[in-house]
Structure 1
Amino acid sequence: MKTRTHQTTGPQGDTALLGTPAAQAAFAKARTALTLYAALTTAALVAVVAVAATGHMVNPFMWTRAALLPFLALLLHYLTASTTRGSRRAYERLRTITVVCPLAIAGVDLIPGVCPWWYAAMQTVCVLPLLHTALTLRTPPLRTAFAKPDSTEDARARRGRK
Structure 2
Amino acid sequence: METKTNTTTGPAFLDDPRIQGSFASAQRSIGLYGALTAAALTAVVVVAACGHTVNGFMWVRAVLPPLITLLIHRMTVSAAGGSRRAFERLSGLTVVMPIAIIGVDFVPGVCPLWYALMQSVCMLPVIHLAFLTRGSALRGAFPKAR
- Percent identity among equivalent residues? 55
Q: Is there any run of 5+ residues in structure 2 with no aligned partner, and where?
A: 1-9
Partner of 2:105: 109
Partner of 1:53: 49
Counterpart CA distance in 1 for 2:99 and 2:14 is 29
Partner of 2:67: 71
Partner of 1:87: 83
Counterpart selection for 1:26 from 17, 22, 27: 22
1:100 Cα deviation after fit: 0.2
The alignment partner of 1:114 has SS state of coil
The answer to whether residue 133 in structure 2 is matched with residue 137 in structure 1 is yes
Partner of 1:125: 121
Task: Give the TM-score normalised by the residue count of structure 1.
Answer: 0.82
1:140 Cα deviation after fit: 1.1
Corresponding pairs, count: 137
The alignment partner of 2:123 has SS state of helix
1:122 Cα deviation after fit: 0.3
1:148 Cα deviation after fit: 3.3
Q: Is there any run of 5+ residues in structure 1 with no aligned partner, and where?
A: 1-13, 152-162
Counterpart CA distance in 1 for 2:139 and 2:127 is 17
CA deviations on 1:58-102 (whole Å, 9 max, x unpaired) are: 000000010001011110000001011000000000001101000
Amino acid at match of 2:131: L
The alignment partner of 1:17 has SS state of helix
Counterpart CA distance in 2 for 1:148 and 1:60 is 41
The alignment partner of 1:42 has SS state of helix
Counterpart CA distance in 2 for 1:148 and 1:80 is 18
The alignment partner of 2:54 has SS state of coil
The alignment partner of 1:86 has SS state of coil
Counterpart CA distance in 1 for 2:128 and 2:65 is 17
RMSD: 1.1
Counterpart CA distance in 1 for 2:47 and 2:106 is 21
Task: Give the TM-score normalised by the residue count of structure 2.
Answer: 0.91
CA deviations on 1:95-116 (whole Å, 9 max, x unpaired) are: 0110100000011011100000
